[in-house]
């Protein structure tokens, strides 16, 4: 499937195979029990793998060298992220999983020294986990201007009230970053909200439930929380960035965040193609006549592979642009890959299931997990339709002049 | 959504609304707890509803009047089945659910008087449940000629050995009909197998597991069994039809069986469109600007509705053909609706989820249940690709002359 | 391809084969020279066929018996129209071609006795041709409220000024019916326009050009005119219906008009499937290995056939509804078939071309003609997107209550 | 639309704008009369433009500097080719049009010094044109092993007999390269044919007709010939490469040839998006409400732009691979872009037409020309289905080990 090597610097030539064999030897054997069984019960095994990753110098590849990472550019990390995406626990083992990676990036840039010391460091070292509370059940996530959660300043504290959901991985997390309205009367709706860090042992915070998603309630890291802030008080110094900067920071956070998703999705596609090919080669319709000889199956494999080739190049090009010009300059590219790659992903999974026949809909393979849990890919961080509109408006603008 | 009334006889004009209000008033309120909660725990409630259905004369609408049913043609029943399909427990409550309905039809035609008395009658009355053991994990289900399960005649008994899966609803069933090779050396591979009824308290039978399907292990009626026959002995008189007739009967059983699925899928589509419309009307992007005003959403609703209109007419026309000329004459029509309607179904569900945004991937609505459990629609009872080939070969034949 | 017989009354059983053999024996042999060669030069041959059709009692099947037709319902005529659609000159030979059939229907209902005598009669007998001038180059055809053409009453005359295009078959026509604004200040924009009959020898009328469409300038019946009205004076008695009734009549005219198109498109699909099958059977990839054995080709044939089955049933059901309840009651059904069948049509033609390989893009078969000239099917008489919105709004309305 | 700059070396930064303004200022104004009017009548104008191109040092950009070109790598040329593709006569003006560019590449590598002097040089300078005779009407082009054209060696001459079609641009060409069987008994079918240069004033050669393609008979460069070789005698020294090398050379010729097509198609897509945007911005549904505000139109623009971004990156990556590792190493990549980009092309054209409404199907814009003449893109040089199989087999092979 290694259709092209674009973006691979010399450095990666040595490193990528290390990740690949780590996955095949150590992660593939336990991945299914982690995602279909109890994630909590798997924590000791996962912790051991993380230790091993640290020993091998592979842990947290996205971080700077001085922070314990590999000091890679975003496009270099993209190649690793694709490999990790082949397993649903790949990123977790190397501590570069969403939503933590997004919070690390955000705090690295905007958190105070104090917050960095207290929260970012242990997060980077994999000692604690975090979450991000933005989406609200009462408002369409596709238009984030509308937020009901408020943070009212009282003395040295913010008093936060609000209802959030899709706060992924809240269960077991140590802190969340919450998006709340601090200046409701600001005429510019994009300057009304701020981001505030809330430790989750705060009595004003409550995890209402892990939302059952596509058949799984989930637990610990593998969960999506519905949470409530009720007179939740945190010191003003827990503000990330400045007051009113919520949307600016959200954009900063979500841009690379979408890239991370896309990289991971490509890894999933590659694994799905691998599974599809192996199944097609081993499954016989008649003795000696493997499924792989069916022209329709061949067409699907080719279409999936073309989708992967397109996706990888687009994502790497976008990562390169971010590396060189910043996330803002790549805004439309990010929108483009968000809807393009998620479409390739879901089509590839659908075909992989069809090739597997009955087996494809069972939980005996990973396809069922991805088919269910990645359906959200076309919804979260902005549904396809919104990203298409973003891109179209920018193109139309060029011709409107 | 009542785009057309084709196929509604006068009789149905009075009956359909009875089913509709039964569903809305009594089934909708409990459906989610039945499918997302414990099905077993819901059995008392479901039993009560069945009693009520009997009282109202609505139970088992597919059966002849003398068997306790409504004495409808297949195309008349189709209209009711569509209504029942709007809830995942609709058919169950009225005892016309797969796989029992298929077994009833089969036994009605081919079982001995004795078997009818002992097994068919209580099945028709909803006192017991049944299952159907055909697909084997080692062989591609799309080519049913290949079977490893054998039934060797020893004296007055068949000794059955084999491994089956996707024996739906095996958990809690009283008997299964098993497809087994009785004449392995017959030169005609289509005459090698027979159908044999096996009571499930037989010591030679074992339910290995309920196969986890798309996140759900399931239980009782809502399950898909993997089962084993090990020196399983049953009297020769448990044969359904004649020896070697297995494939003929399977066709007889699967033809109308596919029709039943198609009817149900149309009901699901209608419910999904209903949900999609209600969500689109109530969800606001900005105050006063409902999602329903978005042109893309409108296009999806229209495409889904057109798919339903097409599907309904095709299914009813096929049912009419079966009523008038028999299942064999309608073989290609059945193949056509099988792949056409399952495609409409999955596309409609996909769009309905997208309209619901984050909510669409949660188990807070039925969409997640159908998205997961109906993905099999394009696989079971013959994958799309096989049915398309069946249809194409028949058309090509006409022009080959 | 005769997947079902729905809608065929006894009457049709005898008649349909007469049309079929007329087409195969007399029309197929000359159709390509008519559409790829000079249509004008073919007129004598076409006239002879029309005479023959009259002799055989097959001419103008859509008309009442007293008008020289067969006195069929719309759904009965639909079956014939489908057969005629197999050839691009089928409808023309039997004088039931657009736009004349639409004008006949309109004038039958709304024209004065005098106009009927002078224009409708010879039109019904195929002695003259007509056209319909509605669309204007300056305004989006999808919103017909906006019209610049005016008809100012001066004494006993209307003075018409305006610019129209897609006035199909204007070249060689004897009269047009023009849509013009007679009451520009009416607060209801739907009551501003009227329909007026204009004989084309009027000095105020000019055929600017036959618009080149997809490579063909065309001529005579096979053309699409761009026309100009400059101080074009006609007697007030040339009004069709009443003043201000333009839109109402346009709806009356376009509803069945869309049905006629859909019927014809199904015929094209059938012919395309026939061609696709014959080519696939005769074309060999290797000696003894026909294209028809390729699974991908088989999938295409099946998908096309399913599309035809769906389309035919939907169109006949809609025709039946119009027969029974009138065109207004079937408004959404008409929108549905308009976008559904045109989609099936273009997909079927695309696949038929692909099966033909290089031959498919030449003018050596009819596929090129249809691929080019039916691309408009998704645009004229309302683009897909408009019809989908019409349907969606009606469905949403049901759930808004 | 300049979504990314990948592949642009410094050199191109200065050159690309020169081509862009040449196109806009000099080619756009005459392109429609060249392709819709008489190509022959346009030759003087085109010749003048070629002279100008030479003066400006922009002529034949694909050639080495010593041959009069710009000395670019394939991936650098790709960027220029994309720009030229925006006009249907872009490549012609700069003398890098198919099939001549393919013949130039082939002869550059494999022709004798003598043939180069006599034929290649004037071809490179745009003094003569050439064509390529490979496809035969009796054999499926997708399996080029089957050829009926033979070249029998008699003394110092080949005697060629055979029937070819899709010999593009034969009308007016000075020579063709013909693929003919020279060793019919070779057990390896891939070593039976050879390539031979035939001057077209040879009495044994005849242009039977310009095949009418999608409504256009065409003429001169803009034509597709059906040709006949009847005892056509040429000196043995007209052989290109070695005897039996026909297939090897065909692969060498077609690989980059497919790249050239893909580059051109991207240019077409960009122009189509440009047209689509401009139309959407200027066309009003209601006063003040432009088509561009319709969400569906926006979705189409975004999808088209994403397709272009994917296509460009894939084509440039493939060109780079050919530059670095040769055409053979990039075989599967070439297959991938062939089916991927042609799909993007046809979808983009289809949407652009839909946005234009009635205007889109007229010959008043270029969309009609491309819609018709690029439909072949999914067929010539190997239909989509064959390229998908090539790619799939290679991927499957990896997993078969």
Contacts of A291 in chain C (CB under 8 A): none
Q: What is the DSSP letter of A362?
A: B
- The answer to whether C141 contacts D36, with C-beta atoms less than 8 Å apart, is no
Angstroms from C5 CA to nearest CA on chain B: 9
- The answer to whether C299 contacts A296, with C-beta atoms less than 8 Å apart, is yes
In angstroms, the CA B75 to CA B285 distance is: 43
pLDDT at position D327 over 90 = no
If pLDDT is split at 50, 70 and 90, which confidence band does D1 have?
A: very low
- The answer to whether C294 contacts A295, with C-beta atoms less than 8 Å apart, is yes
Residue-wise pLDDT for A14-70, tens only, equals: 999 999 999 999 999 999 999 999 999 999 999 999 999 999 999 999 999 999 999
pLDDT at position B27 over 80 = yes
Q: What is the DSSP letter of B189?
A: G
pLDDT at position C1 over 70 = no
Read off the tokens for C115. Answer: 């106009």
Closest residue in D to B296 (Cα–Cα) = D296
Helix H or strand E segment including B178: strand B175-181
Provide the pLDDT for residue B3: 33
Between D303, D309, D317, which is nearest A388 by CB? D303
Q: What is the DSSP letter of A184?
A: T
Residue-wise pLDDT for A315-365, tens only, equals: 999 999 999 998 889 999 999 999 999 999 999 999 999 999 999 999 999
Contacts of D285 in chain B (CB under 8 A): none
Strand partners, D161: D150
Over range A237-260, report the average pLDDT: 91
Contacts of B295 in chain D (CB under 8 A): 294-296
Provide the pLDDT for residue B397: 96
Over range C352-376, report the average pLDDT: 97
Nearest by Cα to C159 from C240, C227, C232? C232
Provide the pLDDT for residue B9: 67
pTM of the shown model: 0.96
**Dmax (CA) of chain A:** 78
Read off the tokens for C209. Answer: 């050009």
If pLDDT is split at 50, 70 and 90, which confidence band does A141 have?
A: confident
What average pLDDT does the structure give for chain C? 94
Would you list which residues of chain A are within 8 Å, Cβ to Cβ, of chain C? 294-296, 299
For residues C160 and C229, the answer to whether their CB atoms sit within 8 Å is yes
What average pLDDT does the structure give for chain D? 94
In angstroms, the CA C294 to CA C282 distance is: 13
**Chains interfacing with D (3 or more CB pairs < 8 Å):** A, B, C
Contacts of A303 in chain C (CB under 8 A): none
Read off the tokens for A135. Answer: 């989406």
Nearest by Cα to A50 from A102, A103, A94, A83? A94
Residue-wise pLDDT for D127-169, tens only, equals: 999 999 999 999 887 777 889 999 999 999 999 999 999 999 9
pLDDT at position C227 over 50 = yes
Over range B45-58, report the average pLDDT: 98
If pLDDT is split at 50, 70 and 90, which confidence band does B69 have?
A: very high
Strand partners, C233: C159
Provide the pLDDT for residue B1: 28
Angstroms from A4 CA to nearest CA on chain C: 28
- The answer to whether A368 contacts B214, with C-beta atoms less than 8 Å apart, is yes
Q: How far is CA A238 from CA A102, A247, A396, B340, C389, in A?
A: 17, 17, 41, 56, 49
Outline where B112-240 has alpha helix (H): 113-115, 121-124
List all residues 6 or more positions away from A310 whose beta carbon is below 8 Å from its beta carbon. A340, A344, D310, D311, D313, D314, D340
> Which of D387, D395, D398 to mutate to test binding with chain A, by most A CBs within 10 Å of its CB?
D395
In angstroms, the CA A138 to CA D102 distance is: 61
Closest residue in A to B378 (Cα–Cα) = A354
Q: What is the dihedral angle through the alpha carbons of C185, C186, C187, C192, rounded to the nearest 10 degrees? A: -110
In angstroms, the CA A279 to CA A281 distance is: 5
Between D302, D314, D388, which is nearest A303 by CB? D388
Read off the tokens for A291. Answer: 């499924």
Domains within chain C, CATH numbers bracketed:
10-103 (1.10.540.10), 130-240 (2.40.110.10), 248-400 (1.20.140.10)
If you count them, how many residues does chain B have?
A: 401
In angstroms, the CA C391 to CA C386 distance is: 9
Calculate the CA D266 to chain-centre distance. Answer: 12
If pLDDT is split at 50, 70 and 90, which confidence band does C8 have?
A: low
Over range B31-59, report the average pLDDT: 97
Closest residue in B to A357 (Cα–Cα) = B379
- The answer to whether C306 contacts B340, with C-beta atoms less than 8 Å apart, is yes
What 3-state class would DSSP assign to D367?
helix
- Torsion angles phi and psi, residue D129, rounded to 5: -125, 165
- The answer to whether C395 contacts B333, with C-beta atoms less than 8 Å apart, is no
pLDDT at position B6 over 70 = no
Residue-wise pLDDT for C177-209, tens only, equals: 999 999 999 999 999 999 999 999 999 999 999
For residues A174 and A199, the answer to whether their CB atoms sit within 8 Å is yes
Over range C368-378, report the average pLDDT: 97
- The answer to whether C281 contacts B400, with C-beta atoms less than 8 Å apart, is yes
Instruction: Classify strands D175-181 and D130-133 as parallel, antiparallel or unpaired.
Output: parallel
In angstroms, the CA B205 to CA B229 distance is: 5
For residues A319 and A75, the answer to whether their CB atoms sit within 8 Å is yes
Q: How far is CA D10 from CA A53, C314, D6, D233, D309, in A?
A: 42, 60, 11, 50, 21
């Amino acid at each position: 499937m290694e259709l092209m090597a674009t973006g691979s610097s010399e450095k990666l030539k040595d490193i990528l195979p290390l990740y690949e064999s780590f996955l095949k030897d150590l992660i593939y054997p336990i991945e299914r029990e982690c995602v279909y069984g109890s994630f909590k019960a798997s924590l000791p095994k996962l912790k051991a793998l993380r230790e091993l990753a640290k020993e091998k110098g592979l842990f947290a590849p996205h971080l700077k060298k001085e922070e314990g990472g590999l000091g890679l550019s975003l496009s270099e990390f993209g190649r690793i992220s694709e490999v990790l995406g082949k397993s649903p626990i790949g990123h977790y083992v190397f501590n570069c999983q969403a939503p933590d990676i997004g919070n690390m990036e955000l705090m690295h840039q905007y958190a105070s020294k104090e917050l960095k010391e207290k929260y970012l460091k242990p997060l980077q070292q994999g000692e604690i986990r975090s979450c991000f509370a933005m989406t609200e059940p009462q408002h369409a996530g596709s238009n984030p201007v509308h937020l009901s959660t408020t943070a009212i300043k009282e003395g040295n504290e913010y008093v936060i009230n609000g209802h959030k959901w899709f706060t992924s991985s809240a269960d077991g997390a140590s802190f969340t970053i919450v998006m709340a309205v601090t200046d409701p009367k600001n005429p510019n709706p994009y300057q009304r909200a701020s981001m505030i860090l809330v430790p989750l042992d705060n009595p004003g915070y409550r995890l209402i439930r892990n939302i059952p998603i596509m058949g799984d309630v989930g637990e610990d890291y593998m969960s999506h929380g519905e949470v409530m802030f009720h007179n939740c008080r945190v010191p003003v110094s827990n503000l990330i960035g400045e007051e009113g900067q919520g949307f600016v920071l959200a954009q900063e956070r979500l841009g690379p965040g979408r890239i991370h998703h896309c990289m991971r999705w490509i890894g999933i596609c590659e694994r799905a193609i691998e599974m599809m090919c192996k199944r097609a080669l081993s499954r016989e319709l008649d003795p000696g006549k493997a499924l792989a000889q069916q022209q329709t199956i061949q067409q699907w494999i080719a279409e999936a592979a073309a989708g992967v080739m397109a996706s990888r190049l687009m994502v790497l090009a976008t990562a390169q642009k971010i590396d060189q010009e910043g996330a803002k300059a790549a805004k439309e590219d990010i929108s483009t890959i968000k809807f393009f790659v998620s479409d390739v992903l879901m089509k590839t999974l659908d075909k992989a299931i069809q090739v597997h026949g009955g087996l494809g809909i069972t939980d005996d393979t990973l396809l069922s997990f991805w088919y269910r849990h990645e359906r959200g890919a076309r919804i979260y961080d902005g549904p396809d339709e919104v990203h298409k509109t973003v891109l179209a408006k920018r193109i139309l603008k060029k011709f409107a002049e």
